[in-house]
């Protein structure tokens, strides 16, 4: 019985307090939650209120009633048009291409965006008495007496070959999307009404996150162990087995092998060209676009030797009035009243002299760099010019000019008949 009395007393107390609370604060709470709904519906309620309270007749009351009705219909009409246009844009929309993500263009696969490709000459027929020189081959190509074989940039033969504009992209480096070509770029579908994130998902799927700072820090094995082993265990709440850790660490060693060897090649110490070949063998695809890789090693070494010779030379003195610098200070930076003060005048003299000395050092460094670069180019041209003259009248090598296959077939047949 005591429990029932306690429950009844509690219910009575709560009921009394609820009535008191609703009596004092109930309407305020209802008005607070009803405020957003009133703000949204205020244009309609205001128009209908003005229309209902205005008396019918002539003059101002009739004008107010007509304006209220016109505002209601204008708001309803504009809202309907906006909804219809929005739905129309979503139903009749752009074609969803997952290859180019709606850009209708891709990087050219032939030249890899450079706009130029290497080529070889095949089945070249010369006139009587002509040799396979550069001029005769050019004439044969112009007269359609030779066939040009374009080599894609993904195929690197490590042979110096001539280059020309890419026929696939006309030298722009951009090709049209094969999925969107010759197809209507408009589609009618109701799937976009809910706006699924297809385009964002496709971009995200192809995106390579800019984790340069993490990649750079991964060169340290201790930091790499944290990112590969400790961090996933902390975030995931699980522990790796020793066998799994060993596999992850082996993969890390294999992935960092290229970067470690690349740092050694970048120092250009003796024997770097052999390490460069090992670098190409580890990852040919990455080495093809790596700026550290030197394509023509003999030319690079010869140019470096010339640069070392030029660095030993003393540049001539800088010509007067050579170069211009935008200096921040001048004599006009001080007023005449400031120059009357001896301290201000001394300050101007010291600052202008220091500025002149700094600017002369900068111009001397620029002149020395420019003179050495021009000297290297001049010496390089003097050494290469004889070879260029010989190439103009010499016979082209086999990598540039392919031999016709018919002659090879005839030779094989002759060998067979000779054998019999």
pLDDT tens, N- to C-terminus, the chain (420 residues): 466 777 777 777 777 777 877 877 777 777 767 766 665 565 556 555 555 554 554 445 666 666 666 676 677 677 776 776 776 666 677 777 777 877 788 888 888 888 888 888 887 787 777 777 777 888 888 888 888 888 887 776 667 788 888 888 888 888 888 888 777 777 766 655 555 555 555 555 555 544 556 667 777 888 888 878 887 777 666 678 888 888 888 888 887 888 888 888 888 888 888 888 888 888 888 888 888 888 888 888 888 888 888 888 888 888 888 888 888 888 888 888 888 888 888 988 999 899 989 988 999 999 999 998 888 888 888 877 776 655 555 566 566 666 665 544 444 454 444 444
Given 141, 176, 211, the domain boundary residue is 176
Q: Do 168 and 232 lie in a common domain?
A: no
Residue 418: the pLDDT is 43
Q: Do 325 and 290 lie in a common domain?
A: no
Q: Do 132 and 216 lie in a common domain?
A: no
Q: Do 274 and 201 lie in a common domain?
A: yes
Q: Do 126 and 172 lie in a common domain?
A: yes
Q: Do 287 and 345 lie in a common domain?
A: no
Q: Is residue 2 part of a domain?
A: no
Gyration radius of the chain's alpha carbons: 41
Cβ-contact 102, 94 below 8 angstroms: yes
Q: Do 240 and 288 lie in a common domain?
A: yes
Task: Answer whether 0.85 is exceeded by the pTM.
Answer: no
Q: Is residue 253 part of a domain?
A: yes
CA distances from 410 to 318, 399, 405, 413 (A): 68, 21, 9, 5
The residue to which tokens 């090879």 are assigned: 408
Q: Is residue 189 part of a domain?
A: no
Q: Is residue 57 part of a domain?
A: no
Q: Do 289 and 321 lie in a common domain?
A: no
Cβ-contact 396, 137 below 8 angstroms: yes
Owning domain of residue 231: 197-295
Q: How far apart are CA 35 and CA 140, in angstroms?
A: 86
Q: Do 167 and 112 lie in a common domain?
A: yes
Given 295, 328, 346, the domain boundary residue is 295
Residue 357: the pLDDT is 92
Q: Do 273 and 219 lie in a common domain?
A: yes
Q: Is residue 7 part of a domain?
A: no
Q: Is residue 88 part of a domain?
A: no
Q: How far apart are CA 111 and CA 166, in angstroms?
A: 6
Q: Do 229 and 171 lie in a common domain?
A: no
Q: Is residue 270 part of a domain?
A: yes
E-only strand ranges, 146-225: 147-151, 163-165, 174-176, 186-188
Q: Do 234 and 286 lie in a common domain?
A: yes
State phi, psi for 295 to the nearest 5 degrees: -75, -45
Q: Is residue 72 part of a domain?
A: no
- How many structural domains compose the chain? 3
């Amino acid at each position: 019985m005591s429990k029932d009395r306690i429950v009844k007393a509690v219910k009575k107390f709560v009921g009394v307090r609820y009535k008191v609370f609703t009596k004092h604060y109930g309407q305020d709470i209802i008005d607070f939650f009803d405020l957003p709904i009133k703000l949204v519906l205020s244009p309609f309620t205001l128009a209908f209120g003005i229309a209902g309270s205005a008396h019918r007749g002539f003059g101002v009351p009739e004008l107010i009633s007509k304006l209220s009705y016109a505002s209601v219909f204008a708001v309803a009409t504009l809202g309907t048009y906006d909804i219809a246009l929005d739905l129309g844009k979503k139903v009749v929309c752009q074609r969803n291409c997952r290859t180019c993500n709606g850009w209708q263009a891709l990087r050219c696969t032939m030249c890899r965006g450079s706009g130029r490709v290497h080529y070889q000459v095949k089945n070249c027929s010369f006139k009587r008495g002509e040799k396979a020189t550069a001029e005769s081959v050019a004439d044969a190509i112009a007269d359609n007496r030779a066939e040009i074989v374009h080599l894609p940039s993904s195929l690197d033969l490590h042979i110096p070959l001539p280059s020309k504009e890419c026929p696939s992209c006309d030298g722009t480096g951009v090709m049209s999307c094969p999925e969107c070509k010759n197809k209507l770029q408009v589609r009618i579908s109701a799937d976009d009404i809910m706006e699924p994130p297809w385009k964002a998902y496709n971009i995200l799927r192809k995106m390579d996150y800019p984790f340069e700072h993490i990649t750079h820090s991964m060169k340290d094995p201790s930091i790499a162990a944290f990112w590969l082993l400790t961090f996933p265990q902390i975030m995931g709440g699980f522990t790796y087995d020793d066998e799994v850790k060993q596999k992850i660490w082996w993969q890390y060693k294999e992935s960092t092998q290229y970067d470690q060897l690349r740092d050694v090649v970048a120092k250009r110490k003796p024997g770097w060209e052999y390490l460069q070949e090992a670098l190409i063998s580890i990852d040919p695809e990455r080495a093809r676009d790596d700026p550290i890789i030197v394509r023509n090693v003999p030319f690079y070494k010869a140019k470096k030797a010339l640069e070392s010779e030029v660095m030993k030379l003393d540049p001539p003195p800088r010509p007067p009035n050579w170069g211009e610098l935008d200096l921040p200070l001048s004599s006009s930076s001080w007023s005449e009243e400031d120059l009357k003060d001896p301290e201000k005048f001394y300050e101007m003299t010291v600052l202008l002299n220091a500025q002149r000395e700094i600017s002369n050092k900068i111009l001397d460094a620029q002149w020395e760099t420019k003179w050495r670069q021009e000297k290297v180019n001049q010496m390089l041209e003097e050494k290469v010019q004889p070879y260029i003259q010989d190439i103009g009248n010499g016979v082209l090598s086999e990598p540039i000019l392919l031999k016709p296959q018919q002659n090879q077939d005839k030779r094989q047949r002759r060998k067979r008949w000779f054998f019999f």
